[in-house]
Amino acid sequence: MNRNPRPTFLEFFAGGGMARVGLGDGWTCAFANDFDPVKAATYQANFDDGEGHFHQGDVFALTVDALPTADLAWASSPCQDFSLAGARAGLAGGKSSAFFGFWTLMRAMAAQGRAPSVIVIENVVGLLTSHHGDDFTALCGALSEEGYRFGALEIDASAFVPQSRPRVFVIATRLPTESLEGPSAFHTRAVREAAARLPEDLRAHWIWWGVPSPPLRNTDLAALLEPDAVVSWNPPERTEGLLALMAPAHRQAVEARVRAGGRSVGAVFRRMRAGEQRAEVRFDGLAGCLRTPRGGSSRQTLLVIENGEIRSRLVTPREGARLMGLPDSYRLPPSQTAGLQVVGDGVAAPVVRWLADKLLEPLVYSKTASLAAE
């Protein structure tokens, strides 16, 4: 169904614009911001519409007057510095976390009577439990103080794309929600426990968003890979070194597939176990969670077994983009490292699309319908 006007959104910590890709053409981006020059260049390469809505720079340097009024504010704030515990003063303008810069702007918009009707805060699942849950309680308290009701969903991107990428989405609103409340598979144990830890006054503002589960995913990791002939493979000695890092159970899984013949594709990630570096492989059709390439061990490796031969190589940026649900028309930076930086630090676009279709659009269109009836 076509509706006019299109809802508008503000995209903070926008990265390469994956939330924008997920929201789709049914939404209008009124403002976007990111600090990182590589991500900023990627965003502008993909969404340069001549309207000048993208602003590169520190969120703390933005002023409320630079922000247009919008229906939705989306914030995928950096996970490594999301710390709100014991920082009530910080929520009023402190600078210990990038989130505070965003929230200062939201409070200023509210003071002007033009706060977004809906706010989405996306982060790692650890947000629910960090500092014994105090960070999440502080976040909910901040939302409540500005008149928002709120709820959280834990969604693993593996429901949509062949990548294990669990994230928490806190959706807050000032709009009526009754028709959108109910049970959901995304009310995981971590979400339920986080809600239960809230003090009574905040639990009164909690919403159990009734977002349904998507249809079963019908693609696996192998389906998204580039042809063997166009990618760079590791030399045999590097592959042997990778196999040597595997614990017996993982090495046995590899050998079983060698004996079985045919073609098998596994995803390998290196991590520390009991003080030793280990390589762990999975053959369940999923990649592990993509990360930014800050070190060699953070680069995810593919293991391809075919007709008894074992080969290995790194995931390419284009494959990483596909694992984030981005189309092949999405423009990546020219360097491998920059491309993986952009895709490894974003939100999976199909998850955003599902939330938009099942929750965000019904919310904002309910506001439009209500205004039209007045």
Instruction: Report the CATH architecture of 8-214+344-373.
Output: 3-Layer(aba) Sandwich (3.40)
Q: How many residues does the chain have?
A: 374
Q: What's the pLDDT tens digit per position in 202-251?
A: 999 999 999 999 999 999 999 999 999 999 999 999 999 999 999 999 99
Amino acid identity, position 47: F
Share of the chain above pLDDT 70, in %: 90
SS3 content of the chain, % helix, strand, coil (to 5): 40, 20, 35
Which residue spans within 78-187 are E strands per DSSP?
118-124, 149-156, 166-173
Asked if residue 26 has pLDDT above 90, the reply is: yes
| Helix-helix angle 37-47:336-344, to 10 degrees | 80
313-335: average pLDDT: 96
Predicted confidence at residue 293, as pLDDT, reads 74
Residue 6 to residue 362: CA distance in whole angstroms: 13
Q: What's the pLDDT tens digit per position in 346-359?
A: 999 999 999 999 99
Predicted confidence at residue 271, as pLDDT, reads 82
Residue 352 to residue 354: CA distance in whole angstroms: 5
Q: Where are the alpha helices (DSSP H) in 248-316?
A: 248-260
Asked if residue 2 has pLDDT above 70, the reply is: no
In the chain, CATH 3.40.50.150 sits at: 8-214+344-373
Q: What's the pLDDT tens digit per position in 64-100?
A: 999 999 999 999 977 655 444 444 333 433 434 788 8
323 or 80, higher pLDDT? 323
Amino acid identity, position 125: V
- Would the pTM of this model clear 0.85, i.e. be above it? yes
Q: What's the pLDDT tens digit per position in 242-278?
A: 999 999 999 999 999 999 999 999 999 888 888 888 9
Share of the chain above pLDDT 90, in %: 78
Predicted confidence at residue 270, as pLDDT, reads 85
Q: How far is CA 280 from CA 147, 161, 267, 293, in A?
A: 46, 21, 8, 18
Residue 38 to residue 210: CA distance in whole angstroms: 37
Characterise 34 by phi-psi region: left (phi > 0), alpha (psi -120 to 50), beta (else): beta
Asked if residue 111 has pLDDT above 80, the reply is: yes
Residue 11's SS3 state is: strand
Asked if residue 370 has pLDDT above 90, the reply is: no
